[in-house]
Chain A
Amino acid sequence: MQKITRDQIVSKAVSLLQDGTVSAVLGWRQGEFCYDVTPSVFNTAEDIEANFVWNDFCGANFSKYLVSKTKNIDGKLLVFLKPCDTYSFNQLLTEHRFNRESVYVVGIPCEGMVDISKVKAVSGEGIVCAESKGAGLSVTTIYDENPKEIPYAEVLSERCLNCKSKKHVAYDELLGDEGEVIDSARFDEVEKLESMTSEERFAFWQGELSRCIRCNACRDVCPACTCEKCVFDNPNSGAESKAPTNSFEEQMFHVIRAFHVAGRCTDCGECSRVCPQNIPLHLLNRKFIKDINSFYGDYQAGAEVGMRAPLVDYDLGDLEACDVFERRDSE
């Protein structure tokens, strides 16, 4: 599959803006370095041509931004969505979080996004350039003028290595070729956790979650977390807390959040991408997805708009609590 180029995206954005199809463009803005791109609304063709970026570091999922960015917009907002972003897009539409009419979606193919911390683990600090070259990145640092070539397989983010779909489930128009839903190995890590003893599993999560600094980035970026007022921000809820009062409390935050997004989480992986402490939060969500699949049959949140999620739907054939209990015993 041919990689989409920045020029293709920019000319699409400019033409849609100039022919009046859209009044603004949500895209990635050039930062200080090759990798620190910032989600941003562009209002003019000049701004797009000068500052719009499309590279291996455009990982941010724009779907959630549509909730706030379409609120006071005249006309339509153009958004570029990668295949996995479109699942969040559909899920948000299912939850009536924004108006479909306010958005013009251009689907763009994605070959996976790079995790800069993985790059730095190989290249070291001082990156001045990291460009796509063939099947990898060519990285130059202030310490080594000779570019180091790093294969994508070593630096793609976890969610991209376990990509679940290269097929867009929503778009108004598509740039490049459409892909397929992938039979990914994304549940392998979950199975590893399931095969642990409960003590081992507890120790694993204790180790991971003890690093949590309660910055709330996972929640704030999560497309499934669009409550107007989060229970963890409400001083009157009794659950508001900015720091662990004991070691168990951090788990409560993450476990409660995982429960809250269960059935609605599309496995976009933004939570793990933004975690400053590299906690594999997506594994909690994937465990729920895996369980829902096994209890109620395969279900992918966001695959279509308006789907009834198994956890909010009732069917006479639904699993009884005792079946779940038995299943636990047989494991």
Chain B
Amino acid sequence: MRRISLYSLDSLFGEISKSMTLYIPASDNAGGAVYTKYEDGVEYLNTLNTVKSPKNFFFPHTEDLMEFKLQGKNIDILDIRQESEDFAVFGVRGCDVKSFDILDRVFLSDPVDSYYATRREHGVIISLACTKPSETCFCTTFGIDPTEPMGDISAWMTESHLYLQPVTEKGKALMSKIEHITEACDDSEVLAQKDKTKNILSKLPLKDLSTDAFGSGKTKELFDSPQWAELSQSCLGCGTCTFVCPTCQCYDIKDFNTGSGVIRYRCWDSCMFSEFTKMAHGNPRLTQTERFRQRFMHKLVYYPENNDGLFSCVGCGRCLSKCPISMNIVKVMKSLGGDKNE
């Protein structure tokens, strides 16, 4: 383990950005945080979570896939992908780090999504342990330890220092580049911080949320539950929960006429949107209840069924704080039997 004084945080960021683009959480000037390219004048914001999750680095909100040139009856297909550059992301919380595993199982499973894979190969994740979780946090429900945030390099921030511990080969390679500005240290401060945080975790209001009622094989039991109608009754059908969610990965592929050609791009999509499953001859999910049910069944039953029981939620709490009607996965889980205390 190595450490650097917080006074020298800027020199650490500066050193990393010498070899690759670095993104750090910074103010979005509207009360939230956004990952921002580090350069002179960009100030690190010690925030719990960014508004948009870091899935954007690997699965961007919108990305161009290919271009077509059309002439008469003829078409040219152009592969417009550019060589990806190495980049690092600093300050990713344990929940968001775990979300990459969940996305990997979708995008890196056969057939591999090369757009995602390239970004993943070029990205280095420097995580950051939580010390002040919010009342909306419930990552421990999904077996995540926010004091051991993983990534390529795990980091802990105390009042005086930033502690760094490489986890992967990529992390070791980056550590070697910043070795000269960091100092070797023992982990006593980090251990003390972990204890303190764990004590806070035991006081969080959602600590008893349980996944027992969910997972593989629960489709029959949960799908026809009368609760869905009740839970979804005031759902606006917007995409806020989906778009702030670090694990939602549905996408759309669309064409955009640039005037000199056609760009085929992909963008985030939401199963909450009314036309998501609409076909020429009908729509299998006609009401918001069905669309609402799909989102939660997917996270709590379908995804685990296909992925060794892993749930497609990391308990980051973004949907809890952002849903316009304050309906969210915690309320769904409790209503369908996920409260240990009930």
Which residues does A use to contact B, with CB under 8 Å? 31-33, 35-41, 60, 65, 116-117, 121, 124-128, 141-143, 207-208, 211, 213-217, 219-221, 233-235, 241-245, 273-274, 276-279
| From B134, B269, B324, contact of A274 by CB (8 A) | B324
- B238 contacts A217, CB within 8 Å? yes
B143 interfacial contact with A, CB 8 Å: no
B235-260: which have CB < 8 Å to A? 236-240, 242-244, 252, 254, 256
Query: CB-defined interface of B313-335 with A at 8 Å, one 1/0 digit per residue?
Result: 00000001110111110110010
**Can you report 11 residue pairs joining A to B where beta carbons are below 8 Å apart?**
A32-B330, A32-B331, A117-B31, A126-B134, A126-B135, A143-B132, A213-B61, A215-B242, A215-B270, A220-B237, A242-B273
B residues less than 8 Å from A35 (CB atoms): 326
Query: Least Cβ distance of B134 to chain A in Å?
Result: 4
B205 interfacial contact with A, CB 8 Å: yes
| From A32, A60, A277, contact of B51 by CB (8 A) | A277
A234 to B274, CA, bound (A): 10
Query: Least Cβ distance of A299 to chain B in Å?
Result: 28
- B30 contacts A31, CB within 8 Å? no
A residues less than 8 Å from B273 (CB atoms): 216, 233, 242
Which residues does B use to contact A, with CB under 8 Å? 28-32, 34, 48, 51-52, 61-62, 132-136, 200, 203-206, 233-234, 236-240, 242-244, 252, 254, 256, 263, 265, 267-270, 273-275, 278, 320-322, 324-328, 330-331, 334
Q: A277-B28, A278-B30 are in contact. Are A215 and B269 (CB under 8 A)?
A: no
- A245 contacts B265, CB within 8 Å? yes
Q: How many A-B residue pairs have CB under 8 A?
A: 131
B residues less than 8 Å from A121 (CB atoms): 31
Q: A38-B327, A117-B31, A217-B238 are in contact. Are A243 and B267 (CB under 8 A)?
A: yes
Interface SS of chain A: helix, strand, loop or mixed? loop
- A243 contacts B268, CB within 8 Å? yes
B residues less than 8 Å from A39 (CB atoms): 234, 325
* Nearest CB in chain A to that of B318: its residue: A276
- B243 contacts A215, CB within 8 Å? yes
Query: Least Cβ distance of A160 to chain B in Å?
Result: 17
A220 to B322, CA, bound (A): 14
A65 to B324, CA, bound (A): 13
- A126 contacts B322, CB within 8 Å? no
B residues less than 8 Å from A60 (CB atoms): 324-325
A213 to B34, CA, bound (A): 13
| From A40, A142, A273, contact of B234 by CB (8 A) | A40
Query: Least Cβ distance of B214 to chain A in Å?
Result: 18
| From A32, A38, A219, A243, contact of B62 by CB (8 A) | A243
- A276 contacts B244, CB within 8 Å? yes
A1 to B286, CA, bound (A): 46
| From B52, B263, B326, contact of A213 by CB (8 A) | B52
Known: A33-B135, A214-B243, A243-B265. 9 other contacts (CB 8 A): A36-B320, A38-B326, A125-B133, A142-B135, A143-B132, A220-B236, A235-B275, A242-B239, A242-B267
- B205 contacts A32, CB within 8 Å? yes
| From B29, B275, B324, contact of A207 by CB (8 A) | B29
B residues less than 8 Å from A279 (CB atoms): 30
A235 to B279, CA, bound (A): 11
A residues less than 8 Å from B206 (CB atoms): 32
B residues less than 8 Å from A219 (CB atoms): 238
| From A211, A213, A234, contact of B30 by CB (8 A) | A211
A276 to B323, CA, bound (A): 8
* Nearest CB in chain A to that of B266: its residue: A243
- A216 contacts B135, CB within 8 Å? no
A215 to B322, CA, bound (A): 11
Query: Least Cβ distance of B138 to chain A in Å?
Result: 10
- B28 contacts A211, CB within 8 Å? yes
Q: A142-B200, A278-B30 are in contact. Are A125 and B331 (CB under 8 A)?
A: no
Query: Least Cβ distance of A290 to chain B in Å?
Result: 23
- A273 contacts B324, CB within 8 Å? yes
Query: Least Cβ distance of B227 to chain A in Å?
Result: 13
A78 to B249, CA, bound (A): 40
Q: A142-B200, A143-B132 are in contact. Are A37 and B240 (CB under 8 A)?
A: no
For B254, B267, B269, B326, which residue has the most chain A Cβ atoms within 10 angstroms? B326
B residues less than 8 Å from A241 (CB atoms): 254, 267
- A31 contacts B239, CB within 8 Å? no
A residues less than 8 Å from B233 (CB atoms): 40-41
Q: A124-B132, A221-B238 are in contact. Are A245 and B326 (CB under 8 A)?
A: no
Query: Least Cβ distance of B212 to chain A in Å?
Result: 19
A residues less than 8 Å from B239 (CB atoms): 213-217, 242
